[in-house]
Amino acid sequence: LTKDRYPHIKRGDYATLSQKHLDYFVGLLGRNRVLTDPSDCEMYNVDFIKAVRGYSQCVLKPQTTEEVSNILSFCNQHRLAVCPQGGNTGLVGGSVPVFDEVVLSTSLLNKIISIDDISGVMVCEAGCVLERLDETLGERGLMMPLDLGAKGSCNIGGNVSTNAGGLRLLRYGNLHGSVLGVEAVKANGDVIDCLSTLKKDNTGYHLMHLFIGSEGTLGIVTKVAIHCPSRPTSLNLALLGLHSFEDILRTYSRAKKELSEILSSCEMMDASSLDVVTSHLKLKSPLGEFPFYMVIETSGSNEKHDEEKLNAFLESVMGDGIVADGTVTNEPSKIRLIWDLRERITEGLLHDGYLFKYDISLPIKDFYSLIPKMRERLGSDASRIAGYGHIGDGNIHLNISVPEFRPDVLKKVEPYVYELTSKLKGSVSAEHGVGFRKPPYIHYSKSDNAIGLMKELKNMMDPNGILNPYKVLPSQ
């Protein structure tokens, strides 16, 4: 966590925070919602994986869209740079300042505005925590269309701003589909009301999509309207052990055909990934040891039907020798344990030391190909090379751990990993975004003209560049 890790980045030509600025913020929000004590600001300056940090001396906590609008209008006039932050669980360093940007935390924008039981549309503020939303919806037979390991901390505004994928994208699609409307505040303080709750609305350009996945560089999302599916009443989870990656592909293909409409999640992890949670977090796996594992979830509305279907599927894949061993459960505590084995890998990996983290989309046949290549290239330089992820969506998480940051290992890994991904026609960021860590590599997945148009949009919507500078777009 040293300043010197980014010698190539220069602070932009922004104002430095002064007493005059602070007086304005305190006048607007009151003293309690303007944090300036360094110990209070610390957690907003460091990211989840502790790989990047900023030096912000001021965290603002607005409670209304109007306050967000006033803050941005003031910062724009006075050329103060702003870093929007939700739950600070982002994995690409986008949620923390790079230098002394003012942090605008959405954590107090946390009200549910409405839930329509018939249409399933929920309107809420950006700072609502994903898991709390899901619990509230659960009481009404509804659910959030996305689920991810960070659900206890991440905010819906952060999810929308990163276009988060997660564990059930296979069933419910991404947020460009589920989000029906967005209210956002532009850099100059203009409130853009695109908070439609309609499923169909083709009146002109679909502006809300500009705010989905733009990681706080084009505006601050303040409210979201989201289509929430009915909560399935029957849920089953299987953990499978397999001998090879080819068997994972066969099992996925068979699951799509044989489980069909009740398949709601299809995840994989290799032995090294499972070892992270069994050794560091002391979780117990109900299966013996295998080189590969899959987690397959079914959900539907008829327990007997779903169980019969899942059992028939398992019998057939085990009978054919594709799956070596498996366990199935519908008991909530056992379901939780199996999901923990998969969801808590990110948390467990932190115990290894420093992480080189890659979030790659690849054509399904090449899904696992980077892992053996990296193992061969790095040999004993890495303490762990783990591959796991959303096999059903062609998105693998490659994590390389070393006890401490080592520039020589970085040189061996990058740009090699990006070049390979590009050669295989993959994406160098499948779901985590670009943030601060990936802008130099965006060209591996986007053409010059596409990046040029992104820059034009940025200049048009935020001409002073105050919103989340140094993020997403590569510098000139």
Q: With respect to ligand 2HG, which residue has the nearer C-beta, 155 or 222?
A: 155
Q: Looking at 50-58, 151-159, 199-207, 403-411, which segment touches ligand FAD (CB under 6 A)? A: 151-159
183 binds, among ligand 2HG, ligand FAD, none (CB under 5 to 8 A by kind): none
Question: From CA 309, how far away is CA 300, in angstroms rounded?
Answer: 11
* 3-class secondary-structure state, position 343: helix
Q: Which of residues 133-162 bind ligand 2HG (CB under 6 A)?
A: 149
Buried b (16+ CB within 10 A) or exposed e, 381-393: ebebbbbbbbbbb
Token duo for residue 314? 């398992």
Token duo for residue 109? 């924008």
Per-residue binder mask for ligand 2HG (CB under 6 A), 73-102, x = binder: ------------------x-----------
389 binds, among ligand 2HG, ligand FAD, none (CB under 5 to 8 A by kind): ligand 2HG
Closest distance of CB 169 from ligand FAD, Å: 8
| Pairing of the two strands 102-105 and 354-361 | unpaired
Closest distance of CB 343 from ligand 2HG, Å: 6
DSSP state of 142: B
Alpha-helix runs per DSSP H in 320-436: 332-343, 345-349, 370-378, 407-413, 416-423
Per-residue binder mask for ligand 2HG (CB under 6 A), 340-359, x = binder: -----xx----------x--
- State in Å, rounded, how far the first CA of the chain is from the last one: 26
Identify which of 108, 105, 101, 98 has the alpha carbon closest to the alpha carbon of residue 46: 98
Number of residues that bind ligand FAD (CB under 6 A): 37
Residues 6 or more apart whose Cβ sits within 8 Å of residue 454: 446, 472, 473
Per-residue binder mask for ligand 2HG (CB under 6 A), 390-429, x = binder: -------x-x------------------------------
The residues pairing with 240 across neighbouring beta strands, listed in sequence order, are 294, 326
Question: From CA 111, how far away is CA 63, in angstroms rounded?
Answer: 10
Question: From CA 438, how far away is CA 338, in angstroms rounded?
Answer: 32
Q: With respect to ligand 2HG, which residue has the nearer C-beta, 345 or 467?
A: 345
357 binds, among ligand 2HG, ligand FAD, none (CB under 5 to 8 A by kind): ligand 2HG
Closest distance of CB 140 from ligand 2HG, Å: 28
> Per rule CB under 6 A, is residue 433 in the interface with ligand 2HG?
no
Q: Looking at 91-99, 175-183, 195-203, 292-300, which segment touches ligand FAD (CB under 6 A)? A: 91-99
Closest distance of CB 423 from ligand 2HG, Å: 22
Question: From CA 256, how far away is CA 259, in angstroms rounded?
Answer: 6
Instruction: Please name the residue that has the structure tokens 């592909």.
Output: 249
Per-residue binder mask for ligand 2HG (CB under 6 A), 365-394, x = binder: ------------------------x-----
| Pairing of the two strands 82-85 and 354-361 | unpaired
Per-residue binder mask for ligand FAD (CB under 6 A), 430-459, x = binder: -xx--x------------------------
Question: From CA 265, how far away is CA 256, in angstroms rounded?
Answer: 10
> Per rule CB under 6 A, is residue 70 in the interface with ligand 2HG?
no
Residues 6 or more apart whose Cβ sits within 8 Å of residue 250: 317, 322
Instruction: Please name the residue that has the structure tokens 């115990």.
Output: 351
Number of residues that bind ligand 2HG (CB under 6 A): 8
* 3-class secondary-structure state, position 268: strand
Question: From CA 221, how far away is CA 84, in angstroms rounded?
Answer: 9
Closest distance of CB 1 from ligand 2HG, Å: 19
Apex CA 169: angle with CA 150 and CA 257, to 5°?
Answer: 135
Closest distance of CB 199 from ligand 2HG, Å: 28
Q: With respect to ligand FAD, which residue has the nearer C-beta, 54 or 84?
A: 84
Q: Which of residues 247-306 bind ligand FAD (CB under 6 A)?
A: none
Question: From CA 437, how far away is CA 414, in angstroms rounded?
Answer: 12
87 binds, among ligand 2HG, ligand FAD, none (CB under 5 to 8 A by kind): ligand FAD
Closest distance of CB 248 from ligand 2HG, Å: 16
Report the residue count for the chain. Answer: 476
> Per rule CB under 6 A, is residue 87 in the interface with ligand FAD?
yes
Q: Which of residues 198-237 bind ligand FAD (CB under 6 A)?
A: 215-216, 220-221
> Judging by beta carbons within 10 Å of its beta carbon (0-12, 13-18, 19+), is residue 78 exposed, middle or buried?
middle
> Per rule CB under 6 A, is residue 164 in the interface with ligand FAD?
yes
Residues that bind ligand FAD (CB under 6 A): 48, 83-91, 94-95, 106, 126, 148-150, 154-155, 157-159, 161-162, 164-166, 215-216, 220-221, 346-347, 431-432, 435, 468
Which residues lie near ligand 2HG (CB under 6 A)? 91, 149, 345-346, 357, 389, 397, 399
